């Protein structure tokens, strides 16, 4: 029998778990390095004991930057078969985590299907599910109701739960006093805020945090400390509400670690490009190096329809500056529930950002595939180029739709015989270079 409760408990006891061995191999690190980082809380390996088909990943700023994909049904889009199609597309494209943010219908069968069949990390936001699970209005729920849903999700096998523990009744006055432009844009944060406002009670996730930690320790669920006060527009970035909540999340990180519960800390949001790196540094200091999980950040507010690009710009800078986990953003952000193509576009943009940051950080072997692409392009080997591509299907489809003529079929239809690579290859080989 296992003589540890969580990955952190094992690491602190000097035990290298099977999950640590897998992560070490993936990251080109020694098992002792991974064990030490998990013991310190600087790497999290979300791996619920009941998620037996999981292919574990490590999340930490010194490891490869990981990507999360948000999915789930809503009242207006409630086809779970479509959501499962998105899940499989995300897994096939290399996403390391899926968050089920369903807010309609019977959510448990879909959640259990994910933890029984999906090999990547599964996350949830239990406060969303509370109203649905009990089929009661928010104000009628009790603190114990919320805690019991956290337990339910842990028993169902989810690897990490987002809990908006950092806002308290003091936050209600802050929001009213500081007059934010966008107030609270976190869906979970707004639900907790609304519950506190209607009932007059303290945030149950904050008040009963130690009990929640005991549940998470029992099942080895990682707590993702949600940022209820993340900025929803550039004007609110790095303000008093955001930073004070971050300070409280730092305190809660210590309390979770005292229970040997792994922690990630969630971050912004909408942030001007010149503030992104500073936000990462502040988090690392306040939260003692706990892995930082950011949404984007989006570096401008005016690109609906293109926010996957807006987020990739911020995500690359954030990951280069210390963020460990990027939550993807799709072209549908701020507009609609994403469809399958939106999901693909969001994943590609986030993976480009993550990969660019990993190269900048000098992550071991991060640039290997880029060097292979350079070799393939030099010799105009198109099949090898597609094999190196992040999205081979799209790359091949574009080339096939606009093929060059036969007498310069080794080039592409943009330059033809004016191709610099072709000309240089011929010149260096002492061959005649025909242009017309």
pLDDT tens profile 37-80: 999 999 999 999 999 999 999 999 999 999 999 988 777 777 88
424: Cβ–Cβ under 8 A, 6 or more apart, which residues? none
CA–CA separation, 111 and 268 (whole Å): 26
Residue 284 CB neighbours (<10 A): 18
What is the per-residue pLDDT for 76?
79
**Which residue in 104, 145, 154, 96 sits closest to 124, CA to CA?**
154
**Hey, what are 387's tokens?**
């094999």
CA–CA separation, 269 and 234 (whole Å): 9
Mean pLDDT computed over every residue of the chain:
96
**Which residue in 190, 214, 78, 59 sits closest to 123, CA to CA?**
59
CA–CA separation, 330 and 192 (whole Å): 26
Q: Which residue is associated with the tokens 């994910």?
A: 114
397 sits in which H/E element: helix 392-401
Q: What is the pLDDT of residues 167-221, one digit of tens each?
A: 999 888 888 888 899 999 999 999 999 999 999 999 999 999 999 999 999 999 9
In sign, the C-alpha dihedral spanning 356, 362, 363, 368 is positive
What is the per-residue pLDDT for 405?
94
CA–CA separation, 123 and 174 (whole Å): 30
Question: What Å distances lie between residue 276 and 320, 323, 328, CA to CA?
Answer: 10, 10, 16
**pLDDT at residue 142 tops 60:** yes
- Our measurement of the distance from residue 189's CA atom to the centroid of its chain's CA atoms, rounded to an integer in Å, reads 18
**pLDDT at residue 103 tops 90:** no
Q: What is the pLDDT of residues 353-381, one digit of tens each?
A: 999 999 999 999 999 999 999 999 999 99
Question: What Å distances lie between residue 385 and 233, 371, 378, 389, CA to CA?
Answer: 39, 11, 10, 6
Q: Are 284 and 292 in contact (CB under 8 A)?
A: yes
What is the per-residue pLDDT for 233?
98
Residue 13 CB neighbours (<10 A): 13
Q: What integer is the mean pLDDT of 10-17?
A: 97
**pLDDT at residue 1 tops 60:** no
CA–CA separation, 120 and 96 (whole Å): 5
Q: Coil, strand, or helix at residue 59?
A: strand
Q: Coil, strand, or helix at residue 68?
A: strand
**pLDDT at residue 137 tops 50:** yes
CA–CA separation, 184 and 245 (whole Å): 12
CA–CA separation, 113 and 109 (whole Å): 6
CA–CA separation, 132 and 104 (whole Å): 7
């Amino acid at each position: 029998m296992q003589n540890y409760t969580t990955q952190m408990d094992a690491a602190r006891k000097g035990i290298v778990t099977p999950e640590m061995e897998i992560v070490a191999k993936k990251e080109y690190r020694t098992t002792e390095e991974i064990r030490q980082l998990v013991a310190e809380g600087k790497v999290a390996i979300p791996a619920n004991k009941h998620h037996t088909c999981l292919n574990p990943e490590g999340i930490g700023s010194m490891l490869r930057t990981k990507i999360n994909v948000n999915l789930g049904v809503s009242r207006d889009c409630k086809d779970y078969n479509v959501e499962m199609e998105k899940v499989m597309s995300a897994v096939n494209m290399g996403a390391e985590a899926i968050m089920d943010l369903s807010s309609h219908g019977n959510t448990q069968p879909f959640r259990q299907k994910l933890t029984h069949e999906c090999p990547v990390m599964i996350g949830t936001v239990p406060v969303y599910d509370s109203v649905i699970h009990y089929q009661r209005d928010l104000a009628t729920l009790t603190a114990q109701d919320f805690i019991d849903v956290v337990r339910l999700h842990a028993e169902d096998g989810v690897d990490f739960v987002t809990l908006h523990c950092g806002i308290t009744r003091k936050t209600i006055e802050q929001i009213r006093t500081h007059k934010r432009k966008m107030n609270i844009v976190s869906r979970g944060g707004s639900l907790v805020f609304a519950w506190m406002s209607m009932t007059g009670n303290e945030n149950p996730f904050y008040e009963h945090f130690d009990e929640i930690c005991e549940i998470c320790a029992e099942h080895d669920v990682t707590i993702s400390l949600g940022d209820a006060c993340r900025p929803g527009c550039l004007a609110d970035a790095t303000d008093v509400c955001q930073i004070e909540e971050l300070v409280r999340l730092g305190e809660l990180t210590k309390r979770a670690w005292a229970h040997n519960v792994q922690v990630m800390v969630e971050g912004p949001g909408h942030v001007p490009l010149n503030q992104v790196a500073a936000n990462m540094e502040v988090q690392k200091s306040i939260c003692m190096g706990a892995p930082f999980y950011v949404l984007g950040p989006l570096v401008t507010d005016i690109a609906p329809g293109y926010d996957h690009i807006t987020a990739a710009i911020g995500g690359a800078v954030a990951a280069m500056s210390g963020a460990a986990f990027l939550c993807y953003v799709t072209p549908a952000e701020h507009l609609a529930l994403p469809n399958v193509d939106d999901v693909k576009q969001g994943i590609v943009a986030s993976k480009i950002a993550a990969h660019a940051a990993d190269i900048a950080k000098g992550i071991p072997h991060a640039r290997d595939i880029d060097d292979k692409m350079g070799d393939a392009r030099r010799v105009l080997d198109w099949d090898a180029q597609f094999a190196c591509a992040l999205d081979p299907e799209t790359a091949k489809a574009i080339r096939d739709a606009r093929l060059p003529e036969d007498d310069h079929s080794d080039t592409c239809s943009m330059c033809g015989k004016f191709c610099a690579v072709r000309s240089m290859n011929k010149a260096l080989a002492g061959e005649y270079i025909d242009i017309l």
